[in-house]
Amino acid sequence: MLLPILALVAPAAAAITLGVQSGFFWVTAATSAGLFLWSINGKGYRKNIGATGLLTGELEIDKKSVEKHFDHYASHFGDDSRDKESKQHKSLQGKREHNYTEMINNFYDLVTDFYEYGWGPCFHFAPRFLGEGFMESLRRHEYFMASRLELRPGMKCIDLGCGVGGPLRNIARFCGCKVVGVNNSDYQIKIAQKHNKNEGLEHLVDVVKADFMALKPFKDETFDAGYQIEATCHAPDLTACFKQAYRVLKPGGMLAGYEWLMTSQYDPKNPRHVAIKQGIEQGNSIPTLRTIAECEAALKKAGFEIVEVQDRCPYPLTALDKPWYGPLAGEYSIENIRSTKLGRFATSFLTYVLETIRIAPKGTYKVQTMLTKTADDLVAGGEIGIFTPAYFWLARKPRKAEKKQS
């Protein structure tokens, strides 16, 4: 505990005694930031993450082109978006929908290491009770969904947009069912497969390269159940995406989701609301965020019968809850210190120093800055209740006889 505090105090002391112009200040600052990050580092495979994919070549992006990749990604949102409502951002929605594969893979190439470093292998938010640990809350959120899907040994489940596979490993272990994750990002698949092997779970889980807008590797009626966690917000067309899930589910099979949506508090005529929505889209590679009504209509249009809906991160909170955005909003916890304001500041600083002294590729700092800004957008959306990251829906594909009757 003493080491991270010392590492943060040292550069301030150096700045006061030596001034920021001094070369010695920069050496102290870089060493301290490195020490800080090292002292709070995780364990196991990928324990040295941060921007390591970019640094070590694990990620197949040419180091010289990180900035080019970032600028190309940013071109899908426009220059003037984020601080105020942006007309340019709106007009680029078509481009985002058309180029979704490139835009989203580009994004995850750049941010995956930062995500895993700051949050761990489960790339989602969660509701949290007072007194509940951060990791514990993430798992409870996953098990809640698994329990609603009634997953058990012998069942085969699909995870649409599985990230690096944190949730699918937890769910497979918890329920004893098989889970096949699909992902369109080669980089994340590579990481997920290494984690699966390291955790001895290859008999229960698999990760397959597929676009959830097409699900080409899978025949009709392959899976007993399916789910998506904070992934289908990336879909350029939600109905088309749900139709694919419908196709690969067996009749009677259940599909569940935690959807990123604008709530009934959202007012599209309020420029501040629109700016927050646009900021979340820009910082998370989302063509456009939808409303609750749009999501439910898409499920029905795809052929599903809706069994249950509820916002798992509702607004306002009760006195017994902690906000889902707490870890981004200044709440301090040693479990997720890297995603706190303090941790993000240290990471930004280290990224800046490493880029300045040419260890980190040019563009790394821009990626970190984008993530810091969007953390503020997510907090703003959560604080005024216009956005939820966990609108839970449970839907059923009707059995054949039921379909004929209706």
| CB nearer to ligand SAM: pick between 37 and 229 | 229
* Closest approach of ligand SAM to the CB of residue 286, in Å: 10
* Calpha distance 167→129 (Å, rounded): 20
Contacts of 297 (CB under 8 A, 6+ apart): 239
Q: Which residue, among 196, 159, 204, 144, has the nearest Cα to 177 in the 3D structure?
A: 204
- CB-count exposure of residue 350 (10 Å: 0-12, 13-18, 19+): buried
Among 172, 229, 354, 370, binds ligand SAM (CB under 6 A): 229
Contacts of 110 (CB under 8 A, 6+ apart): 54, 61, 66, 69, 70, 73, 367
Structure tokens at 162: 């599985």
Does residue 207 belong to the site contacting ligand SAM (CB under 6 A)? no
Does residue 185 belong to the site contacting ligand SAM (CB under 6 A)? yes
Structure tokens at 172: 């497979």
Does residue 49 belong to the site contacting ligand SAM (CB under 6 A)? no
Instruction: Single out the segment in contact with ligand SAM by CB under 6 A; choices: 19-27, 72-80, 177-185, 200-208.
Output: 177-185
* Calpha distance 277→269 (Å, rounded): 12
Does residue 146 belong to the site contacting ligand SAM (CB under 6 A)? no
Structure tokens at 94: 């078509």
**Can you say whether residue 68 is alpha, beta or left, with left for phi > 0 and alpha for psi between -120 and 50 degrees?**
alpha
| CB nearer to ligand SAM: pick between 183 and 340 | 183
Q: Which residue, among 196, 42, 251, 217, has the nearest Cα to 134 in the 3D structure?
A: 42
Does residue 182 belong to the site contacting ligand SAM (CB under 6 A)? yes
Does residue 157 belong to the site contacting ligand SAM (CB under 6 A)? no
| CB nearer to ligand SAM: pick between 182 and 386 | 182
Helix (H) or strand (E) holding 318: none
| CB nearer to ligand SAM: pick between 103 and 274 | 103
Asked if omega into 316 is within 30° of 0 (cis), the reply is yes
Query: How many Å from the N-terminal Cα to the C-terminal Cα in the chain?
Result: 63
Distance of CA 382 to the CA centre of its chain: 16
Residue with tokens 């761990």: 120
> 83-112: which residues touch ligand SAM (CB under 6 A)?
104, 108
| CB nearer to ligand SAM: pick between 85 and 259 | 259
Does residue 212 belong to the site contacting ligand SAM (CB under 6 A)? yes
Q: Any bridge partners for residue 306, and if so which?
A: 395
Helix (H) or strand (E) holding 322: strand 321-322
Does residue 211 belong to the site contacting ligand SAM (CB under 6 A)? yes
Instruction: Single out the segment in contact with ligand SAM by CB under 6 A; choices: 67-75, 182-190, 352-360, 390-398.
Output: 182-190
* Calpha distance 232→253 (Å, rounded): 19
| CB nearer to ligand SAM: pick between 14 and 162 | 162
Q: Which residue, among 339, 291, 345, has the nearest Cα to 116 in the 3D structure?
A: 339
* Calpha distance 103→90 (Å, rounded): 16
* Closest approach of ligand SAM to the CB of residue 210, in Å: 6
* Closest approach of ligand SAM to the CB of residue 231, in Å: 4
Does residue 55 belong to the site contacting ligand SAM (CB under 6 A)? no
| CB nearer to ligand SAM: pick between 36 and 77 | 77
Instruction: Single out the segment in contact with ligand SAM by CB under 6 A; choices: 47-55, 157-165, 172-180, 384-392.
Output: 157-165
Residue with tokens 């640990």: 133
Does residue 66 belong to the site contacting ligand SAM (CB under 6 A)? no
Does residue 379 belong to the site contacting ligand SAM (CB under 6 A)? no
Instruction: Single out the segment in contact with ligand SAM by CB under 6 A; choices: 48-56, 79-87, 127-135, 156-164.
Output: 156-164
Instruction: Single out the segment in contact with ligand SAM by CB under 6 A; choices: 150-158, 207-215, 293-301, 342-350.
Output: 207-215
What string marks each residue from 111 to 130 as x (binds ligand SAM by CB under 6 A) or -? -----------xxx------
> 265-294: which residues touch ligand SAM (CB under 6 A)?
none
Does residue 299 belong to the site contacting ligand SAM (CB under 6 A)? no
* Calpha distance 165→181 (Å, rounded): 7
Q: How many residues bind ligand SAM (CB under 6 A)?
A: 22
Does residue 388 belong to the site contacting ligand SAM (CB under 6 A)? no
Q: For binding to ligand SAM (CB under 6 A), which residues are involved? A: 104, 108, 122-124, 161-163, 166-167, 182-185, 188, 211-213, 229-231, 234
